[in-house]
């Protein structure tokens, strides 16, 4: 469109791809959201300094902040989004519910907790009926949200939701809402202009979630037919008309059978908007800019087509095997191969640092195909073959979801990851055979690099020996524990022994990190990326990370027995135990905040608290000892 772009960035983001992709970038300073991206005056000042004429709020932070929109307009800039009034009225989940009742849109029972004493909140929850959901009135993305299944959990859940909402959105208002067990989460993309047009652009299903945050999104929904699509679309348009909505927005519903209930309206562009773009052929950001310029929606947007099926997954730096704990650190390599129908929208690149200050989403990977099954299978293969090194991610979890029989049958709802344990689905994908072959590839790559680094060896034929020798043995720590690889080259060829097994003949070639191995009649290639003693191997069976054991390891101090360590850098919010307390394995010990979420750290063993090494407000580094427990004898 010929529009120049200006990015604003915090200190941790100064080398992020969006900064370098913009025509110009202006530093906000600070590290936390409160010190940077939530500073309205800094963003408006950056716009003035750059000579910009318009401000697009993006997906989060101030995107649904009516005060920010008003400040932008008052400062003389074009606001790319709905009016401040529409944002404010829909931004309050409590206020928007009242609007929806007036507009005839079905809603779930709810109660505002503002100013309520604990006993009043208990009575309100009992009147609604358990289970209930504590929800932040401002913001979204699963922040400030807790499921409460019994009265004993309510007070603590409310307190934590208020604190998390205050941290994420600057507004700690929370309310109770009836919790539907395992409904579908279906949302309608709406779009309005200043010429009186307001249309539905079909639905997206976002039922597969963790911590109430979507991780798999698709369009169209596998269970929404033409009649229900029209009915939900009309309700969504009615909801948007109630606030004279202009621009891109999403009206979210919970779908149970043929009944649907208003959940909330997102007065911004959604993270999952690409799936709508793929099935309609529309560029929603371009339409946002056209509407902000005062133009009418073009004809193709007023009657959007629906072709094929699109699925998006959110790739996170997090450990699905360990309660979805976020993972900070450096991505040594990040490469998702392009392919037919594949689209990648990434916030990172090779060498990027994953900050503890922000949400751990790395990228969105989208596939559009003629059918839902084709989209799922092609997307799963793309993820499995991606080179993602240096951080734990939810990649394996996403691949297993996309290939799961229930998902392929369209049997998805918000309880999917409760029925199918994430720790099980997130387990490493490669088979034992694939891991062994990857270990051989790593050993051969290391052998080739050592030869290349020694000038004298380069003049000798590979494997030349004066007399027969024992195999060269390399031991790795891998996804299933220790892997021992013994290889030998002689005049009769090459052989390998895995662990205590029998010798197996193999042939191989190595070219710039690509190791091709032919063994027992199978020829496969592996891309090996080495970083010191760590080998990331990408092959036909998926990714395998291996760490070569040092044959002469240095002596390091062991962790104190029974000690609880910080799984990531973060801030201590609560200390739940004191010295001398008796605790049981799995009991909550501390509450930490990291990557915009609260995490309860639990006792690794049962015993007596010997010492507490952290206090409320402490900023702790990863692996710092927090609590030491004197373990009970069996």
Query: β-strands 6-9, 24-27: how paired?
Result: parallel
Contact 218, 205 (CB under 8 A): yes
Contact 249, 270 (CB under 8 A): no
39 is catalytic: no
At CA 312, angle to CA 308 and CA 317, rounded to 5? 165
CB atoms within 10 A of CB 594: 22
Beta bridge partners of 564: 627
Environment class of 560 (CB within 10 Å of its CB; exposed 0-12, middle 13-18, buried 19+):
middle
Name residue, tokens 């290889």.
Answer: 487
Q: Of 39, 146, 268, 488, which one is the catalytic site residue?
A: 268
186: closest CA among 285, 256, 123? Answer: 256
Task: Supply the angle between the helices 93-103 and 226-241 in degrees, to the nearest 10.
Answer: 110
Label each residue of 463-498 as H, E or C: CCCCCCCCCEEEEEEECCEEEEEEEEEECCEEEEEE
Query: β-strands 78-79, 54-55: how paired?
Result: parallel
Instruction: Give me 81's structure tokens.
Output: 């989004």
CB atoms within 10 A of CB 532: 7
What residues contact 553, with CB distance under 8 A and at least 6 apart? none
CB atoms within 10 A of CB 428: 17
Contact 589, 583 (CB under 8 A): yes
- Catalytically active residues are 268
């Amino acid at each position: 469109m010929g529009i120049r772009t200006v990015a604003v960035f915090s200190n941790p983001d100064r080398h992020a791809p969006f900064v370098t992709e913009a025509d110009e970038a202006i530093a906000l300073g600070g590290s936390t959201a409160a010190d940077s991206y939530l500073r309205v005056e800094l963003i408006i000042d950056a716009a003035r300094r750059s000579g910009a004429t318009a401000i697009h709020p993006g997906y989060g932070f101030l995107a649904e902040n009516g005060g920010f929109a008003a400040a932008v307009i008052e400062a003389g800039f074009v606001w790319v989004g709905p009016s401040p009034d529409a944002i404010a009225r829909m931004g309050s989940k409590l206020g928007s519910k009242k609007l929806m009742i007036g507009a005839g849109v079905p809603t779930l029972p709810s109660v505002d907790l503002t100013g309520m004493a604990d006993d009043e909140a208990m009575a309100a929850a009992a009147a609604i009926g358990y289970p209930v959901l504590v929800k932040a009135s401002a913001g979204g993305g699963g922040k400030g949200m807790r499921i409460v299944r019994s009265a004993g959990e309510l007070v603590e859940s409310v307190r934590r939701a208020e604190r998390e909402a205050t941290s994420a959105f600057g507004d700690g208002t929370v309310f109770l809402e009836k919790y539907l067990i395992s409904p579908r989460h279906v949302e309608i993309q709406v779009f309005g202009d200043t010429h009186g047009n307001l249309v539905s652009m079909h639905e997206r299903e976002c039922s597969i979630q963790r911590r109430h945050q979507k991780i798999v999104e698709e369009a169209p929904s596998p269970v929404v037919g033409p009649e229900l699509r029209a009915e939900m679309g009309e309700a969504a348009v009615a909801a948007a008309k109630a606030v004279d909505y202009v621009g891109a927005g999403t009206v979210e519903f919970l779908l149970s059978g043929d009944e649907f209930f208003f959940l909330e309206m997102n007065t911004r562009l959604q993270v999952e908007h690409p799936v709508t773009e793929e099935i309609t052929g529309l560029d929603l950001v371009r339409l946002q800019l056209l509407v902000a310029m005062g133009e009418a929606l073009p004809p193709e947007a007023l009657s959007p087509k629906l072709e094929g099926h699109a699925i998006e997954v959110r790739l996170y730096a997090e450990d699905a095997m360990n309660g979805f704990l976020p993972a900070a650190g450096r991505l040594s390599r990040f490469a998702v191969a392009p392919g037919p129908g594949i689209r990648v929208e990434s916030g990172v690149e090779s060498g990027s640092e994953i900050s503890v200050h922000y949400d751990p989403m790395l990228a969105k990977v989208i596939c559009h195909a003629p059918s839902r099954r084709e989209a799922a299978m092609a997307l799963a293969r793309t993820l499995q073959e991606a080179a993602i090194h240096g951080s734990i991610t939810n990649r394996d979890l996403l691949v297993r979801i996309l290939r799961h029989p229930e998902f392929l049958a369209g049997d998805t709802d918000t309880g999917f990851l409760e029925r199918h344990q994430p720790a099980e689905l997130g387990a490493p994908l490669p088979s034992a055979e694939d891991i062994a072959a990857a270990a051989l590839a790593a050993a051969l790559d290391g052998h080739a690099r050592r030869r290349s680094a020694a000038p004298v060896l380069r003049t000798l034929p590979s494997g030349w020996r004066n007399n027969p020798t024992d195999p060269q043995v390399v031991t790795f720590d891998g996804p299933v524990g220790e892997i021992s690889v013994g290889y030998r080259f002689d005049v009769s060829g090459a052989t390998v022994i895995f662990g205590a097994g029998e010798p197996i003949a193999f042939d191989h070639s190595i070219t710039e990190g690509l190791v091709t191995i032919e063994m027992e009649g199978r020829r496969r290639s592996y891309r090996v990326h080495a970083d010191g003693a760590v080998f990331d191997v990408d092959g036909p069976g998926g990714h395998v990370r291996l760490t070569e054991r040092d044959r002469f390891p240095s002596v390091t101090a062991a962790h104190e027995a029974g000690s609880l360590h910080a799984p990531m850098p973060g801030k201590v919010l609560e200390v739940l135990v004191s010295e001398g307390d008796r605790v049981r394995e799995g009991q909550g010990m501390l509450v930490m905040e990291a990557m915009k979420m609260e995490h309860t750290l639990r006792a690794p063993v049962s015993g007596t608290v010997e010492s507490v090494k952290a206090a409320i407000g402490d900023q702790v580094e990863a692996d710092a000892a927090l609590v030491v427990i004197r373990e009970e004898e069996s």
